[in-house]
Amino acid sequence: MAPEVMTSPSHPVPKHRAARKVLTVQGPIESAKVGVALTHEHLLIDFTTVLTEPSAASQRGMMDQPLSMENLWWVRYNWTSNRDNLLLLDEPTAIAEVQDYFRAGGTTLVDVTSVGIGRDPQALLRISRATGLNIVMGSGYYIDKTHSDWLRKASVDEVARSIIKDIDDGVDSTGIRSGIIGEIGCSWPWTDNEKKVLEAAVAAQRETGAPLLIHPGRDQRAPLELLNAVEKWGGDLRRTVMGHIERTIYDRGILAEVAATGAYLNLDLFGHDESHYPLAVDTYMPADHERIEQIEYLVGEGRSKQVLLAHDVCSKHRLKRYGGHGYDHIPTRIIPRMRARGMHEEDIRMVLVDNPTRMLTFN
């Protein structure tokens, strides 16, 4: 691809043609247009890859029931054990739900539905046009369980090319371009194919200057292992987002070590206010007040420039029409709570606007 910017001998690296821009499904926009942003969401997703049978035989029938008032509490508690709950496939619902976020002052939303969990570029474009929201679409591949036969056999270079194509030319023949690499799914233990995909994602980051967003495995050691690999492969840790911090890192010392890498730290499960965590029953899902405390800790350690916020909506029970909190939970409820606890306005602006803007702006 021809470089857009002439390079001087002192700056020999060719600039990507999206350089200094943010790449949305409607095309590149100026960084200043990002505004309030959620950095890890799913507007449409088929998340049945996490579907698990209820452990009690007497509850097996719950798996295929449609979500209703009668089973809502059960589904909230066992949210991975109900198929209907894991399918967000209705566009009018997505539009209505995300419009509330727009009305609450939100202007940008990063949809990191990667290949393997139902990414739909055309639908994201229609939702962006219907709502006026800037939508940044992900690229790359989710966890091993969702990998296609092609992906299992492909080389690092072939996988990298597929990601670069999404960013440079758009997905398939749609012309709709990805503005972020992710979420790149990594399990614990980390599988060989997932290693290949992350190495390819790093290569794509190096070539395009795009941000890279990682879903770590559920172990406190995972984030550092992954970030060390990104660095080893020549990736830019300051252009890398470590996701799901709150459900992965419970130890402040480890959190400080991960922060010291310079990567962005995504507190991206706001609204998941249910301590039972069916994907990791030996631990727990922190509540919103613990997320806020983690952010206060990071701000106190001088890490405010690395904090990002999101809800990671990926199931019906998180949507308002199914009794959930919706995409506007952070602006309408969490930010006022942060303010009430004394968080400074410049730090609130940092995590809500400045950090996502810097993260999403191509090198």
Chain positions contacting Zn ion, by CB under 5 A:
312
- Least distance in angstroms from the C-beta of 182 to Zn ion: 9
46 vs 312, which CB is nearer to Zn ion? 312
Burial of residue 117, with CB atoms counted within 10 A of its CB: 0-12 exposed, 13-18 middle, 19 or more buried = buried
d(CA 109, CA 327): 10
215 vs 303, which CB is nearer to Zn ion? 215
116 vs 121, which CB is nearer to Zn ion? 116
Least Cα distance to 311 among 40, 105, 34 occurs for 40
- Least distance in angstroms from the C-beta of 272 to Zn ion: 11
- Least distance in angstroms from the C-beta of 70 to Zn ion: 28
- Least distance in angstroms from the C-beta of 93 to Zn ion: 18
- Least distance in angstroms from the C-beta of 42 to Zn ion: 6
**Cβ-proximal residue to Zn ion, closest one:** 312
Residue 221: CB atoms within 10 A of its CB come to: 14
- Least distance in angstroms from the C-beta of 85 to Zn ion: 15
Continuous H helices in the chain: 72-77, 91-103, 121-131, 149-153, 156-168, 192-208, 222-232, 245-248, 252-260, 288-300, 329, 335-340, 345-349, 355-360
Q: CA-CA distances (angstroms) from residue 193 to 49, 147, 183, 229?
A: 17, 8, 15, 14
DSSP state of 57: G
151 vs 213, which CB is nearer to Zn ion? 213
What contacts 330, CB < 8 A, 6 or more positions away? 38, 270, 271, 309, 310, 311, 352
